[in-house]
Structure 1
Amino acid sequence: MEISLLCDELWLSNPAAETCHEPTQCILEKCPGDLFHISKEDCEQAGVICFEKELSYTPEPGYLEYLHSSNLMEFRHKAIQWLFKSRSRLNLRFDTVFNAVNHLDRFISLNQCHGWKYWMIELLSVACLSVASKFSETSPPLLQEIQLEDLEHWFESSTIRRMELTLLKNLGWHLGCVTPYSYLELLLSKIESLESHLQNQLTTRFTQLLFGALLDFKLLEYRPSLIAISALQCCLNELMPSSCSHLAAATTSLSNHFTKDDLQKCHMMMKSRVVEPLSDILVSGKLETWPSSPVTVLVKERVDIYDSQVDLSIFKLPGSNIKIIESSKKRKRQSEK
């Protein structure tokens, strides 16, 4: 049975939703691959829509506390590192891995069970990357290609497809995520008179900092737009020290939504990523840090997990607990009658 991954996501109450379900995509199509030359009005509109939409794609409240209490920090860290390596090995788009991490965090936050094992996180990671690839890539990798390296377990294709469907149902089929990376070009396009080489440096450094931010669990409590603003501020301070006017021009419409305290706290956390760069992500300032292993290299022996061994019923759909409570109340009323 073929499963369609097409979805029809509504864009809140924005008037643009009547004519286009993906406003930022429509803007990109006006000038493919070069957002820096489209009108300021279009960029401003896309930024407003992203800001309105982003809270719909953040993990559930209390997610950070749950990660601490369930000892899932290490599992999440390893899963995101694997996603980084897979992105580089498979030559995927940067937004694919940002979306995959978003799917991972949202799914775990919706399924705060106490029986997480590492093979479950690996299965979820494979499903997240596969779904994100199908959403973003023109030629998504095969399931066998995704599992080629750096996993401790190997899963049958049927198991991964079941996990994909479970993931999609849990996320309500809402895959058009707004992540900090969604703001990269929208913010940089507002900086006028930017020479091409400096534009490229800012883009690369911005992306590096956002990759580092994905691994910093402390930043989970901040909105994607605030993380993006902080990353841009760090980039401008590093590459363009006298850049106050550029920062104001690029971020005013977004920063007005936050308190000075939040802006300062998030900036200090992002600044620590500059002072102490993550060596396992950034090597010699390059994003391409993980070349594919030669076929002659012996990989770690993996544990095979078959479809019959996997029970996905522990991952309850959002609202399932509410339905159970409501039905039990109805039964209680009927028995009282």
Structure 2
Amino acid sequence: MAHHHHHHDSLYCSEQHYFDDEEHDHVFLEQDMLCDDSELKTLVSKEQEQEKNLSILCIDEWERREAVEWILRVNAYFSFSALTASLAVNYLHRFLFTFTMKKNQPWLTHLAAVACISLAAKMEETQVPLPLDLQVEDSKYVFEAKTIKKMEILVLSTLEWKMNPPTPLSFIDYITRRLKCFHFLNTCQSLLLSLLPDSRFIGYLPSVLATATMMHVVNNNVEPCLASEYQNQFLGILEINKAKLEECYNVILEVVSESGFNYKESKKRNFGSIIIPSSPSGVIDVSFSFDHHDSSNDSWEVVSANDSVSSTPNSINKKRPRTQEHTASFEQFKQ
């Protein structure tokens, strides 16, 4: 008997063995041909505009990794979205690439991390903790609110107010909507966030990292024949460099092998609840002066420092943090 089904009918999702507790459409068809391609074109265009060799950062790698891990822990603490974490890390990397950092000033990297998660939260979250309350999860330093706000201004200026860049999550979101494979979304988000601390991924375009991440999730959750079909669809949509994709995929294999990423847990876990090694405990109270007319590192000076280790402020409340309203100034760069 002749079969007249489109070849993509073979992609009826048989992965319910892995996702039987989730409600989703089991039909994987390229049925969104009416999907507006302008969104993808915009993402690709922005990606090309911002392409820089971010793999060369003039900063101590341990400081950068520590800052990224802290951002992810704070993101989990407040149950922020995966996009908030992804944006915060994007801001941090772009800032560190552009802004000349002096050596022996680890506090500056951490201050930048605080400002970046604060800005990302203002972009994406409906409730944003006050600057002081954001400094949780073994924060090594505690900065005054006015100091954080000055750093936010410096970050905004350094990034030229381009605060809605394409991230790997932008492409993952587009693909899952285009191909109706929403059941993979949480797992892809969890895996992606677990990769961000590793500096090897900085040099890959967001579209490449997104595709490699989705391929890894698919390969670990569906049968080989279906995995191949998924991969063909991913490549057909994004048309990315296959050599770079394979290289990125192999790095993911290494990281997952070392970290022991758990797929069963990832589809149920909160976005940020990825196990990240804790930073040294204790915080140091410091305050800094900033001349907003001078964007160089020289304008940051330690005014006073209390070397005694203190506990995190008691005012911090995980479940009911004090929040601040979004200001109108942030609307102009959400476009």
The TM-score normalised by the length of structure 2 is 0.69
Go from structure 1 to structure 2 and tell me whether the alpha carbon gap of 1:301 and 1:250 turns closer, same or farther (over 3 Å shift). closer
1:49 aligns with 42
1:172 Cα offset (Å): 0.4
Post-superposition CA distance 1:289-330 (Å, at most 9, x none) = 379xxxxxxx9442211244x57787439xxxxxxxxxxxxx
Instruction: Map residues 242-261 of structure 1 onto 2, 5 A cutoff.
Output: 242=225, 243-254=227-238, 256-258=239-241, 260-261=242-243
Is the CA contact (8 Å cut-off) linking 2:68 and 2:89 kept in structure 1?
yes
Go from structure 1 to structure 2 and tell me whether the alpha carbon gap of 1:265 and 1:149 turns closer, same or farther (over 3 Å shift). closer
Go from structure 1 to structure 2 and tell me whether the alpha carbon gap of 1:302 and 1:262 turns closer, same or farther (over 3 Å shift). closer
Counterpart among 185, 207, 214 of residue 232 in structure 1: 214
Q: Does 1:65 align with 2:56?
A: yes
Bigger fraction of residues in strand: 2
Counterpart among 33, 44, 69 of residue 81 in structure 1: 69
Is the CA contact (8 Å cut-off) linking 2:208 and 2:240 kept in structure 1?
no
User: Sequence identity, in percent?
Assistant: 23
- Quote the Cα distance in structure 1 between the aligned partners of 2:264 and 2:99: 35
Counterpart among 283, 290, 293 of residue 302 in structure 1: 283
Instruction: Map residues 1-337 of structure 1 onto 2, 5 A cutoff.
Output: 39-42=32-35, 44-58=37-51, 60-61=52-53, 63-67=54-58, 70=59, 72-115=60-103, 117-191=105-179, 199-200=182-183, 202-240=184-222, 241-242=224-225, 243-254=227-238, 256-258=239-241, 260-277=242-259, 284-285=265-266, 286-287=269-270, 288-289=272-273, 300-308=281-289, 315-316=295-296
Give the 3-state SS of the residue equivalent to 1:145 in structure 2.
Answer: helix
Give the 3-state SS of the residue equivalent to 1:303 in structure 2.
Answer: strand
Count of aligned pairs: 261
Post-superposition CA distance 1:209-248 (Å, at most 9, x none) = 2112211211211100011111111111111132212221
1:45 Cα offset (Å): 2.7
The residue type equivalent to 1:64 in the other structure is S
1:139 Cα offset (Å): 1.6
Give the 3-state SS of the residue equivalent to 1:306 in structure 2.
Answer: strand
The TM-score normalised by the length of structure 1 is 0.69
Q: Report 1 or 2 for greater relative contact order, CA contacts < 8 Å, sequence distance ≥ 6.
A: 2
- Quote the Cα distance in structure 1 between the aligned partners of 2:109 and 2:260: 23
Is the CA contact (8 Å cut-off) linking 1:96 and 1:136 kept in structure 2?
yes
The residue type equivalent to 1:141 in the other structure is P
Is the CA contact (8 Å cut-off) linking 1:234 and 1:274 kept in structure 2?
no
1:116 Cα offset (Å): 5.2
Is the CA contact (8 Å cut-off) linking 2:56 and 2:97 kept in structure 1?
no
1:40 Cα offset (Å): 4.1
The residue type equivalent to 2:135 in the other structure is Q
Which runs of 5 or more structure 1 residues have no equivalent in the other structure? 1-35, 292-298, 318-337
Is the CA contact (8 Å cut-off) linking 1:75 and 1:121 kept in structure 2?
yes
1:128 Cα offset (Å): 0.4
Give the 3-state SS of the residue equivalent to 2:178 in structure 1.
Answer: coil
Which runs of 5 or more structure 2 residues have no equivalent in the other structure? 1-27, 298-335
Bigger fraction of residues in helix: 1
1:136 Cα offset (Å): 1.2
The residue type equivalent to 2:229 in the other structure is S
- Quote the Cα distance in structure 2 between the aligned partners of 1:228 and 1:162: 33
Is the CA contact (8 Å cut-off) linking 1:107 and 1:171 kept in structure 2?
yes
* CA RMSD of superposed structures (Å): 3.1
1:85 Cα offset (Å): 0.8
- Quote the Cα distance in structure 1 between the aligned partners of 2:245 and 2:263: 25
- Quote the Cα distance in structure 2 between the aligned partners of 1:315 and 1:106: 15
- Quote the Cα distance in structure 2 between the aligned partners of 1:283 and 1:119: 37
